[in-house]
Amino acid sequence: MKAKLALENGVVFTGESFGAEGETTGEVVFNTSMTGYQEILTDPSYCGQIVTMTYPLIGNYGVNPDDMEGTHPHVSGFVVKEYIDHYSNYRAKESLGSWLRKCNIIAIQGIDTRMLTRMIRDVGAMRGIISTVDFDEKTLLEKVAKSPRMAGLDLTRNVTCLKKYEWKSVGPGPSELPPDAGRSLNNNPRFHVVVYDYGVKRNILQRLARYGCRLTVVPSWFSAEETLALNPDGIFLSNGPGDPEAVHYAIENIKKLLDKKPIFGICLGHQLLGLALGGKTFKLKFGHRGANHPVKNLLTNEIEITSQNHGFAVDPESLDKSQIEITHVNLNDGTNEGFRHRELPVFCVQHHPESSPGPHDSDYLFPQFIELMIRHSSVVA
């Protein structure tokens, strides 16, 4: 079936549909990971975005229930060079195409994704539309022009849980590491952590649980007073989609929690923490999305290869250096990848230490959070 992808700069690509029928709009971005398309598709942080994979062959290992990072795909659309329908993997349950059709995700193949990626790198992330029902380029571009821009959007409300719940680990997934000395067994958690769900990935919850945490997951709008009433040992601020400055209610809640409990933030949680501490965020030209981004740990001078997915960043110059210490920097463009408070038990990173997909270089951040809770609580390690 024929499909078209139209961009707000007027460029239109013609390809073939391999997902659901219909029409979808979103911000067109690219991800450089060679594998992990199912984790990418189900990552809530991609809400509102049409994801282009730069690796040319997608679908060859199918999909399975274990590699889900959310309950369902969150992308607005999917773009690949060549889709492989005949998958080969002992873990696979069905093809990527049949799963996308079942989940009502529109996807296009057969376009020049190298050209598209270079265009995004030059121009920046753009609004776009994929359609299998309307092939008139003029009307497609009119629809793109009317679609919302990512800046100013609060998309956390689209992906957060609707009420608090206790996370029950479903056991080790394919990215699970063996427990090392000092980790608690999952059936005897030592710490109670409140997880703010701005679009949390399942593997983040798995890692926290594996390190001995009992998790209460709460909606993005859950008040600071309600959180403190749960008497947690620590607070985790999750990843999520959209513009951090638009999530004003989360920023106000974080301000009230800063000097109360140890706090660890990842991705959007990192950005919200920066805003709560008086900093500013800005939109990146085309974002960081992939599984091989080099980050320097300024505390150890070591280089970590990291998994990333974000379109906004914290401006390090906007942070009060008398209170905030920069801990990580991106070696590709020098943007901020992490900081910690000099007095309060608060730290965060922009990249994903749970790395699903991706390397596990930054997994040490989870036990770092555990040590912070040990030092600031009455829990006996």
> Which of these is catalytic: 69, 267, 304, 351?
267
pLDDT value at position 364? 95
Please indicate whether residue 267 is annotated as part of the active site.
yes
94 lies in a domain? yes
The CATH number linked to 140 is 3.50.30.20
pLDDT value at position 168? 80
> Are 132 and 239 part of one and the same domain?
no
Q: Which of 124, 146, 168 is the last residue of a domain?
A: 146
What is the secondary structure of 346-358 as a DSSP string? EEEESSBTT-SSS
Q: Which of 123, 146, 169 is the last residue of a domain?
A: 146
**How big is the chain, counted in residues?**
381
Q: Which of 146, 172, 190 is the last residue of a domain?
A: 146
pLDDT value at position 187? 53
Do residues 209 and 186 touch, judged by C-beta distance below 8 A?
A: yes
186 lies in a domain? yes
245 lies in a domain? yes
pLDDT value at position 22? 97
Distance in angstroms (rounded) separating the CA atoms of residues 213 and 316: 31
Residues with pLDDT less than 50, the chain:
171-186, 379-381
> Are 229 and 111 part of one and the same domain?
no
> Are 323 and 196 part of one and the same domain?
yes
The CATH number linked to 355 is 3.40.50.880
pLDDT value at position 380? 42
381 lies in a domain? no
> Are 170 and 37 part of one and the same domain?
no
Place of tokens 């600031």: 376
Q: CA 156 → CA 45, 74, 76, 166, 181, distances in Å?
A: 9, 12, 15, 20, 36
> Are 128 and 218 part of one and the same domain?
no
Structure tokens at 114: 């190298």
314 lies in a domain? yes
> Are 187 and 101 part of one and the same domain?
no
Range of the domain at 287: 156-375
> Are 253 and 298 part of one and the same domain?
yes
30 lies in a domain? yes
151 lies in a domain? no
Helix axes 248-257, 268-276, angle to 10 degrees: 70
> Are 134 and 198 part of one and the same domain?
no
> Are 168 and 139 part of one and the same domain?
no
> Are 303 and 321 part of one and the same domain?
yes
Which residues have CB under 8 Å from 89's CB, separation 6+?
60, 61, 62, 64
> Are 138 and 168 part of one and the same domain?
no
> Are 93 and 231 part of one and the same domain?
no
**Domain total of the chain:** 2
pLDDT value at position 179? 39
352 lies in a domain? yes
